[in-house]
């Protein structure tokens, strides 16, 4: 079928046609939940909402059988338009992270734009938390839930997934979130934001001046396209979902006025175009009275921990896992 001209495209990851048809070439392999036995981690998939096809992949280190460990609810990256909890790069990274941090990880597969523009991803994240809370209160809890210490739950993600974690954190910190009984049985201890995907109309220095190698995971042009596809039609990049530091004239809501979560860890890449936005975000959180830890990883770019096999990236990814472990078990 002829779909008309291609109106938006990002380097082999997504093509959007004039009639709204969307193609996502399969350049990153999707894998099942199976893991090599010697890794010592068990993984399984579960349906969160069959109507919207939201599902999650859970990782449980085998050695935690007789202890309760923290739970990290994780959201993958991909500019809200691509990515999956089933991508092999996330599967490998999160299995290793669960083992290294000594925690259970629930990786949520949310709906993607442009078919499901924001706030679909935020709603799906909230639905996953609600589902967790309801399972916990009901008699039908899953086997892996018996390993979780629900008084130590962390929201986490990278890139667009870190943006989702940020918005869920602010939603839970505001009144409407805490009143939700199903989520009340979960005690949130903090947020782990890896290279959070934010934007804005005015360019930052790192957006203007950070040279990106060919095939970089995130360029300024790709970032603009992702936001155009993900935000409500006609929105600018100063929409609060994209630019949380922009003062919203109607609600007066920005980070300066918002006490977010007990603690936030922000992981920043030195060669990422998002570096300056991520640093500004940390400064704004701290100024608002939040406890923030900000770590910059030298010599690596956006999404290095899932996409790069270089020795430097592998070493930095291990450092990141150690920082997450220290943050979670503090």
Q: What is the pTM of this model?
A: 0.95
DSSP notation for 204-216 = PHHHHH----TT-
CA distance 46 to 36: 20
Q: Taking the chain, what is the end-to-end CA distance rounded to the nearest angstrom?
A: 56
Q: Which of 108, 126, 69, 81 is nearest to 230 (CA)?
A: 81
Q: Any idea how long the chain is? A: 330
In this prediction, residues 297-303 reach a mean pLDDT of: 97
Per DSSP, the three-state class of 48 is: strand
Higher pLDDT, 172 or 25: 25
Spell out the domains of the chain, with CATH numbers in brackets: 34-329 (3.40.50.1820)
In this prediction, residues 122-132 reach a mean pLDDT of: 96
Is the pLDDT at 135 greater than 60? The verdict is yes
Q: Which of 302, 304, 300, 284 is nearest to 292 (CA)?
A: 284
Q: Do the Cβ atoms of 99 and 39 come closer than 8 Å? A: yes
Is the pLDDT at 322 greater than 90? The verdict is yes
Give me the chain's average pLDDT, please.
92
86 HSE (CA, 13 A, CB side): 13
| Sequence-separated (6 or more) residues with CB below 8 Å from residue 291 | 262, 263, 264
DSSP notation for 98-126 = HHHHTSEEEEEE---TTTS-TTHHHHHHH
Q: What is the pLDDT of residues 261-275, one digit of tens each?
A: 679 999 999 999 999
Question: What does each C-alpha distance from 269 to 44, 206, 222, 281, 316 come to in angstroms?
Answer: 31, 11, 17, 14, 10
By annotation, the residues acting in catalysis are 159, 272, 302
Q: What is the pLDDT of residues 37-95, one digit of tens each?
A: 999 999 999 999 999 999 999 999 999 878 899 999 999 999 999 999 999 999 999 99
């Amino acid at each position: 079928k002829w779909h008309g001209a291609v109106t938006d495209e990002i380097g082999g990851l997504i093509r959007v046609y004039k009639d709204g048809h969307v193609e996502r070439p399969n350049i990153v392999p999707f894998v099942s939940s199976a893991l090599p036995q010697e890794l010592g981690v068990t993984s399984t998939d579960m349906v969160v909402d069959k109507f919207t096809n939201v599902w999650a992949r859970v990782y449980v280190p085998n050695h935690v059988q007789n202890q309760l460990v923290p739970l990290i609810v994780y959201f993958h990256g991909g500019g809200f338009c691509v990515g999956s909890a089933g991508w092999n790069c996330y599967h490998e990274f999160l299995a290793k992270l669960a083992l290294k941090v000594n925690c259970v990880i629930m990786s949520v597969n949310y709906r993607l734009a442009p078919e499901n523009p924001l706030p679909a991803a935020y709603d799906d994240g909230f639905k996953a938390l609600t589902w967790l809370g309801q399972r916990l209160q009901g008699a039908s809890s899953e086997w892996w839930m018996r390993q979780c210490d629900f008084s130590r739950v962390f929201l986490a993600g990278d890139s667009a997934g870190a943006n989702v974690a940020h918005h869920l954190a602010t939603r839970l910190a505001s009144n409407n979130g805490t009143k939700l009984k199903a989520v009340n049985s979960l005690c949130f201890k903090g947020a782990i934001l890896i290279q959070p995907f934010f934007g804005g109309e005015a360019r930052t220095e790192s957006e203007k001046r950070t040279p990106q190698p060919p095939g970089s995971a995130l360029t300024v042009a790709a970032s603009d396209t992702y936001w155009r596809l993900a935000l409500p039609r006609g929105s600018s990049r100063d929409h609060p979902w994209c630019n949380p530091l922009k003062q919203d004239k109607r609600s007066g809501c920005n980070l300066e006025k918002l006490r977010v979560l007990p603690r936030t860890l922000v992981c920043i890449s030195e060669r990422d175009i998002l570096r300056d936005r991520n640093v500004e975000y940390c400064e704004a959180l701290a100024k608002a009275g939040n406890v923030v830890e900000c770590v910059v990883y030298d010599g690596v770019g956006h999404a290095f921990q899932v996409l790069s096999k270089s020795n430097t990236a592998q070493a930095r990814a291990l450092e990141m896992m150690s920082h997450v472990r220290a943050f979670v078990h503090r």
